[in-house]
């Protein structure tokens, strides 16, 4: 008769010699099972804490970015303080992304299918490929978008330049810019990170009334509302910044988003 008493089986198992293959495999299995239970339990317990920490880190990062853009704190305070919210935009359609949230954006961008290759004619910013989804920050006045803070990036003279571009609700007037990462030549192209240079951007317009792209960083002093003073001795960096802003405010960048905002669909 088969003994089904689990305690009896356990006693016989423990009585096996330590060099027994059955006992070795059995102990290894039990240890793995216990560890799996502990890890899964810890994941469940820690998930809310991790989520809260990520949200806090995101808020701190956003506050730092906003503070780096000249005049942004005052604009946001005037509009109602903490109404700035994060939204994932589908750059192909210009609408809020379906099925991608701030929490899942990094995972989505690990898939090659969520990146768009750019032709040489399209790729004026030197990106190679453009993500289909990006996180933007918007401020609303009632139901209307009054301010949008947008990540931008492109190739500089020495390496990649990253920044945040703030646009007023007409999606044609710059509210401010902050360069968050650059490796340009110190004292020359590296001056794009200086607050004094960035302070020229508020009020600069991207396109003229006919819709023609006019934004330019001049080689010398600016002469109209579409131009920013260039940096002496840093022509290549100035040209790169012109192309970066033109790309992201154009049809391959945030153009569809700008159109959706103007139509009141965002």
The answer on pLDDT for 33 being more than 90 is no
The answer on pLDDT for 70 being more than 70 is no
Residue 42: the pLDDT is 73
pLDDT interval class at 124 (50, 70, 90): very high
Residue 53: the pLDDT is 58
**Residue-range domain boundaries for the chain:** 6-58, 69-262
The strand order across the sheet containing 144-155 reads 85-90, 133-141, 144-155, 160-168, 174-181
The answer on pLDDT for 27 being more than 60 is yes
The answer on pLDDT for 157 being more than 60 is yes
- Higher pLDDT among residues 172 and 69, named by residue: 172
Average pLDDT over residues 77-97: 82
Q: What is the pLDDT of residues 180-239, one digit of tens each?
A: 999 999 999 999 999 999 999 999 999 999 999 999 999 888 999 999 999 988 999 999
What predicted TM-score, i.e. pTM, was given to this entire model? 0.75
């Amino acid at each position: 008769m088969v003994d089904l008493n689990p305690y009896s089986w356990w006693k016989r198992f423990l009585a096996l010699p330590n060099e027994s293959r059955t006992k070795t495999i059995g102990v290894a299995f039990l240890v793995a099972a216990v560890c799996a239970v502990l890890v899964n339990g810890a994941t469940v317990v820690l998930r809310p804490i991790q989520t809260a920490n990520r949200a806090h880190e995101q808020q701190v990062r956003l506050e730092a970015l906003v503070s780096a853009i000249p005049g942004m704190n005052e604009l946001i305070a005037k509009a109602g303080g903490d109404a700035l919210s994060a939204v994932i935009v589908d750059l192909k359609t210009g609408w809020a992304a379906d099925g991608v949230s701030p929490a899942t954006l990094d995972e989505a961008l690990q898939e090659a299918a969520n990146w768009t290759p750019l032709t040489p004619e399209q790729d004026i910013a030197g990106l190679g490929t453009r993500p289909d989804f990006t996180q933007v920050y918007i401020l609303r006045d009632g139901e209307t978008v009054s301010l949008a803070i947008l990540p931008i990036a492109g190739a500089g003279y020495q390496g990649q330049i990253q920044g945040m571009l703030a646009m007023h609700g007409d999606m044609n007037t710059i509210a401010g810019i902050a360069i968050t990462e650059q490796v340009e030549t110190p004292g020359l192209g590296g001056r794009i990170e200086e607050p004094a240079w960035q302070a020229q951007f508020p009020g600069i317009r991207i396109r003229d009334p006919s819709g023609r792209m006019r934004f330019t960083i001049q080689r010398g002093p600016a002469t109209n509302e579409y131009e920013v003073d260039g940096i002496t001795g840093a022509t290549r960096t100035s040209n790169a910044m012109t192309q970066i802003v033109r790309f992201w405010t154009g049809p391959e960048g945030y153009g569809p988003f700008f159109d959706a905002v103007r139509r009141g669909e965002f």
